[in-house]
Amino acid sequence: MKEMNGAEIMVRSLEDLGVTQVFGYTGAIVLPVYHALGKSPIDIVINANEQSSAFSAAAFSRSSARAGVAVVTSGPAITNTLTAVADANADSIPLLVFAGQVPQNRLGTDEFQHINVKEVFSEAAKRVILIAENTDIEDTIKDAYFFAKTGKPGPVVIDFPMDLQRKAGVYKGTDIERYRLKYDQENHLGRNQCREFFGLLQRSKRPLLYIGGGLNSQAASDVIRRFNKKLNIPSINSLTGKGILDESLDTSLGMLGLYGTPYANMAIQETDLFVAFGVRWNDRVVQKVGEEGLVAEIAYIDINAEKVQEVRATRNPKFSFIGDACTVLEDLLEYEREHPLTLMIDEWRQRAVALKQKFVLNYNRESDQIQCAEVMDHLSRRITQNTIFTTGVGNHQMFAAQYLKTLRPHSFLTSGAFGTMGFSLPSSIGAYYANPNAMVIAIDGDSSIKMNMGEIHTIGSLGLPIKVLLLNNHGDGMIRGIQTTLYDKQYTGSERATDAHFANIARECGFSWTRKIRRHEELEPSLNDFLAAEGPCFLEIVIDRDETVYPLIPIGKGYKDMILGPYIKEGAVV
């Protein structure tokens, strides 16, 4: 036991938890914490703003098995942080946010830069905690860390009044194993449940695996890959489920949904058993199995009890279980070893392969302008096991999800459920610090990059070896596409006649390699140079403003209404 002030107890507790990195922005009300961090081995990255700090911390979580940590000050710092916290909550990402707060005796007043943190985050965080007079700071922080990672993961916001940051207290050094054990609540399948699940599979002629972000960990990826190596069931994935299964497999059909691959959206119309692991049934998948016109038996496994109960009430699954999908898959594999299973689904496997071969993704190869899909097609051929992508939100995000064949989990970081523009740059910083030996590529659009453009300065000034790939169509491409379809091509607010020379801005901010290109013949050599260069790299590619993401499903329609567009043609060889 040792006497310390509250800020020092907080920092020592983070050290005990193995935290090596925090992201944040300073302010007067949180200076005691920063003073304590300055005497700690924990590294600090100061982002351009608090939203970016929380995005970087969340990306640290998204790209590793650890929970990221952000430290921000009071007032506007809190409201700035809200968007990133809500984004993490929507995608079930563990995150700890420490918010500086005015002294206790000024809570609820009109004190400078004061806001009610609990009210701000009440619907956007997994939990909000106010450090009070009698709070055990060490216990609260260590408990919050494991709580954020347990069950349905999510962000925890800790509101820390300045007087309690300064107040003397006692650090006890409580063993973190106590907290780990507290939240180690594995739910296992019983033998009868395993028998029931495999009975469904054996009766099925056309089973389809649907893999969501709930399996986006190395352990879960390893076990689902072992499971499917044994059974070879055709699979599809959500946007945040990319990389969990090997996308190079013939029976891996890619992303489902509004802008999903044609073969994924076709396979879901033909399946008779929809086996969903770790998914939220998000509206981006458009039409859901169990709704009118999409009939199949359902097996659903997820750790979120509320979501499982909802599916039970609305879709009548034949099998459902509340628990960690990784644990469930281990139980199923153990049962299958004792009771070997052979699935008679060769015809369905061949059908899945045929769909993938007959409806190949394609784009306008005759255009005199570079296509975003063309860039992703070229980039996909250069992916290695060591590549991590982050994306902004917009057309470039959907093209990246369609074309990039990611090889492992934690390698495609994107804002899924909340769809937050400005996500890519700060997330690339968090991904780099969690994976300093990886090649981190931040893919962004000209609209999305401007949301958190200050992170160009963060990357450049710190000399981070992050590669920023900007697809510039001088407009809001996805919105423009909707305006083309529904608003008689009236492009109010979604296009720009001129724009900044972003590559020059990157150079001024310290990027060691920058280039801007417009012509097809420049694309391949520029990508090669971009990927080979060292240090912060920035490649700006001017692309076709009129390019539309295909396939697409019109708003309010189902998978049978999917529009392939003018370039995806049955049987075409590309």
Q: Residue 140: inside a domain, yes or no?
A: yes
Q: Residue 318: inside a domain, yes or no?
A: yes
The pLDDT of residue 18 is 97
Q: What's 332-371 look like in SS3?
A: HHHHHHHCCCCCCCHHHHHHHHHHHHHCCCCCCCCCCCCC
Question: Distance between CA atoms of 357 and 68, rounded to whole angstroms?
Answer: 41
461 and 496 belong to one structural domain: yes
Domain boundary among 358, 389, 407: 358
452 and 505 belong to one structural domain: yes
Q: Residue 152: inside a domain, yes or no?
A: yes
Question: Distance between CA atoms of 258 and 419, rounded to whole angstroms?
Answer: 14
Residue with tokens 């099925």: 204
Q: Residue 561: inside a domain, yes or no?
A: no
The pLDDT of residue 287 is 62
Question: Distance between CA atoms of 413 and 411, rounded to whole angstroms?
Answer: 6
- 5 near 35, Cβ under 8 Å? no
Question: Distance between CA atoms of 41 and 174, rounded to whole angstroms?
Answer: 20
250 and 176 belong to one structural domain: no
Looking at the structure of the chain, the number of domains it has is 3
- Residue 102 is encoded by which pair of tokens? 């005015």
Sheet containing 439-445: which strands, arranged edge to edge?
A: 412-413, 387-391, 439-445, 466-472, 537-542, 513-517
157 and 92 belong to one structural domain: yes
pLDDT digits (tens, 9 = 90+) for 93-130: 999 999 999 998 888 888 888 899 999 999 999 999 99
426 and 397 belong to one structural domain: yes
177 and 238 belong to one structural domain: no
Q: Residue 319: inside a domain, yes or no?
A: yes
Sorted by sequence, the CB contacts under 8 Å of residue 569 that are 6+ apart come out as 362
264 and 215 belong to one structural domain: yes
Q: Which domain holds residue 76?
A: 2-182
Q: Residue 536: inside a domain, yes or no?
A: yes
Domain boundary among 330, 358, 386: 358
pLDDT digits (tens, 9 = 90+) for 37-89: 999 999 999 999 999 999 999 999 999 999 999 999 999 999 999 999 999 99
54 and 128 belong to one structural domain: yes
Please report the sign of the dihedral spanned by the C-alpha atoms of residue 250, residue 252, residue 254, residue 256. Answer: positive
Please report the sign of the dihedral spanned by the C-alpha atoms of residue 298, residue 213, residue 223, residue 255. Answer: positive
The pLDDT of residue 61 is 98
Residues lower than pLDDT 70 in the chain: 282-288, 290-293, 573-574
Q: Residue 557: inside a domain, yes or no?
A: no
Q: How far is CA 26 from CA 40, 60, 329, 402, in A?
A: 16, 20, 44, 39
Task: Give the CATH number for residue 257.
Answer: 3.40.50.1220
**Torsion-angle region of residue 224: left (phi > 0), alpha (psi -120 to 50) or beta?**
alpha
233 and 155 belong to one structural domain: no
Domain boundary among 133, 155, 182: 182
- 208 near 274, Cβ under 8 Å? yes
313 and 390 belong to one structural domain: no
Question: Distance between CA atoms of 54 and 51, rounded to whole angstroms?
Answer: 5
Task: Give the CATH number for residue 420.
Answer: 3.40.50.970
> Shortest CA distance to 468 belongs to which of 519, 421, 436, 515?
515
**Torsion-angle region of residue 294: left (phi > 0), alpha (psi -120 to 50) or beta?**
beta
178 and 202 belong to one structural domain: no
Q: Residue 345: inside a domain, yes or no?
A: yes
Sorted by sequence, the CB contacts under 8 Å of residue 273 that are 6+ apart come out as 200, 201, 203, 204, 206, 207, 208, 296, 297, 298, 299
> Shortest CA distance to 518 belongs to which of 486, 543, 548, 481?
543
The pLDDT of residue 290 is 65
279 and 296 belong to one structural domain: yes
